[in-house]
Amino acid sequence: MTPTVTATPRVSRDEELHWIALKMVPGLGTRKAGLLIEKFSNPQSVFRASKSDLERAGISASVAQSIASGCSFDDAVDQQQKAINTGVELVSITDPRYPPRLKEVYDPPVLLFARGRVDLLQTLTLAIVGTRRPTPYGLAATTRLAAELAQAQLTIGSGMASGIDTAAHRAALGVKGNTIAVLGCGVDVVYPSENKKLASEIAANGLLISEFPMGSPPYPQNFPVRNRIIAGMSVGVLIVEGAQYSGSSITAKLAMEQGREVFAVPGNITSEMSWSPNLLIKQGAKLVQEWNDVIVELQPEDRRRLIVNGQREILGEEIAQLPEGPQAPLRKELLAKLKVDQKTSLDSLLESLEFQSSSEVSAALFELEMLGLIKKLPGLNFVKVW
C-alpha cells in the first residue's frame, strides 16, 4: 500500500541545522517559533535578525537575546548528528512532505523528527486511540476496525501507548497496511519499553514521528502535547475505550476543536472504560459498528482519493479472484462500471451493455453479490463493496 509521491530534494545540512537550532532555542515555544517563520520565512533569516527586530515580532527580550547569541547551535549540532546516526529525517513546516492537515492547527510544530516512511505524512490518516487498560471487547473491536480501515487505504495513526494504541498499530501492520506512531518522546526512545519490537516494525514498514528532540524522555506533560498532532494530522479520530478523564478524551476534544470528525465505538454501560466513547456519542460523535461507518462520513474528495489510491490493488485482486466461465468477461465489465460511493441502477447498466440481455446481466450481478463484491440496494440499484 505504498502511495505514489513526488521525490523531494533534501535541504542542505546547513538549512537543517538552522531548523534544529530554532527548535532548541530556550524559552521559544511552538507558537512563537511558528510566528517567526511566518514573518522571516526561514530560520536562517530569524538568526540573522537583530534583537530589536525579534522583539518587534513579539519575542521577549530574553528569548530574543538567546536567538541573537546563537547559543542553541551547540545542541543543534548534537541533535543533527544523532539524527544522521539513527537514520532520522527532519521535516520542517515548509517542507512539501509536512502533513497538510497539521498546518491547520493553532500551534503546529515547526519541525518533525521522522523515522521510517516519510511518504506516509501525505496519506489520509485516521487516528485510533483509547485506554491503556482495554477490555477484551475493546481489543477485539480495535483489531478488527484498524485492520479493515487499513485495507480500505487509510493510514492508521496512534500514539504507540499500551492497550488500544498498540492494538491499532499491530492490526494495521498485520494486513500490510500503513501506520504512523506519534510519540511523546524522542523517536530514538522506545516508550513503553515492551513495545521495542513494535517500534522496530513501525520504523521498517510505517513511520515514527515526534516534535520532541532526539533522546527526549517520555515526560508525562509531553503526551497531551503530542495528542494535538495525532488529531491534527488526521481526517478524524476514532475512540474505542477510555475512562472519564482519559488521554483519549483529550484527543477527542482536540479533534473537535480542530474541526476533525470524531468517531466512537459504543461500549458496555457497566464498564468504566466505556465512559468516554459513550459520552462522545451522546455529544454527537459518529457511532461506529463497522469500518464503513467511518468511510461514509469522510469528505467526498477524501473518499475519491481512497478509491484512486486503492484502485489498482483492490480492483486487481477482485478481478483475479473471479471464477472463470462464460459469465467471467461480463462480471469483470460490471465490476469495472460499478462505484463504491455512488449507486448505479440496473437500467443504466443495461443501457451501457447493449449487446447483453437483461437476464445475462441480472445473473452476473447475482453472482457478484454472492461473491461479496457488490451490494444490491432498494430500487434495483447496485454499489461495489469496498
* Domain assignment of residue 246, yes or no: yes
46 and 135 together in one domain: no
What confidence score (pLDDT) does residue 357 get? 85
pLDDT in tens, 54-96: 999 999 999 999 999 999 999 999 999 999 999 999 999 999 9
255 and 362 together in one domain: no
Last residue of a domain, one of 266, 298, 330: 298
Q: Is the pLDDT score of 9 beyond 60? A: no
Give the domain CATH number at 292.
3.40.50.450
Q: Is the pLDDT score of 6 beyond 60? A: no
134 and 280 together in one domain: yes
Span of 245-249, 267-271, 289-293, 304-308 with lowest mean pLDDT: 304-308
* Domain assignment of residue 113, yes or no: no
Binned at pLDDT 50, 70 and 90, residue 5 comes out as very low
Cell numbers 521522522: residue:
114
pLDDT in tens, 276-330: 999 999 999 999 999 989 998 998 888 878 866 665 454 444 444 555 566 678 8
126 and 184 together in one domain: yes
What DSSP assignment string belongs to 199-243?
HHHHHHHSEEEESSPTT----TTHHHHHHHHHHHTSSEEEE----
* Domain assignment of residue 91, yes or no: no
171 and 287 together in one domain: yes
Q: Is the pLDDT score of 341 beyond 80? A: no
Task: Note the helical H segments in the chain.
Answer: 13-23, 30-40, 43-48, 51-56, 61-69, 73-86, 136-151, 164-174, 196-205, 222-232, 247-257, 275-282, 292-295, 300-310, 316-321, 328-337, 346-352, 358-370
What confidence score (pLDDT) does residue 375 get? 84
- Give CA separation, 310 vs 99, 127, 154, 253, 297, in Å: 20, 19, 10, 31, 18
179 and 264 together in one domain: yes
> In the Cβ-directed half-sphere of 235, how many Cα atoms lie within 13 Å?
22
**Integer Cα distance of 371 and 358 in angstroms:** 20
- Give CA separation, 355 vs 5, 329, 337, 344, 349, in Å: 41, 13, 15, 19, 11
Give the residue-averaged pLDDT of 156-166: 97
Residue (of 252, 254, 150) closest to 202 by Cα position: 150
Q: What's the start-to-end Cα distance of the chain, in Å? A: 15
Contact 131, 246 (CB under 8 A): yes
What confidence score (pLDDT) does residue 306 get? 81
- Give CA separation, 145 vs 140, 171, 295, 319, 353, in Å: 9, 8, 11, 25, 37
Average pLDDT, the chain: 90
Answering whether pTM is above 0.75, one says yes
% the chain with pLDDT above 70: 91
Give the domain CATH number at 328.
1.10.10.10
Contact 176, 203 (CB under 8 A): no
Last residue of a domain, one of 298, 329, 357: 298
* Domain assignment of residue 86, yes or no: no
**Integer Cα distance of 238 and 130 in angstroms:** 8
Which helix (H) or strand (E) segment holds residue 376: the answer is: strand 374-377
Span of 269-273, 319-323, 379-383 with lowest mean pLDDT: 319-323
Structural domain range at position 372: 305-384
**Integer Cα distance of 244 and 272 in angstroms:** 8
247 and 158 together in one domain: yes
Cell numbers 469496498: residue:
386
Three-class secondary structure of residue 116 per DSSP:
strand
Last residue of a domain, one of 250, 274, 298: 298
**Integer Cα distance of 285 and 238 in angstroms:** 9
**Integer Cα distance of 152 and 1 in angstroms:** 10
320 and 270 together in one domain: no
pLDDT in tens, 120-137: 999 999 999 999 999 999
Number of domains in the chain: 3
Contact 235, 298 (CB under 8 A): yes
Three-class secondary structure of residue 7 per DSSP:
coil
What b/e sequence results for 89-117 when a residue is b if at least 16 CB atoms lie within 10 Å of its CB, and e otherwise?
Answer: bbbbbebebbbebbeebeebbbbbbbbbb
Single-letter code of the amino acid located at 255: A
* Domain assignment of residue 107, yes or no: no
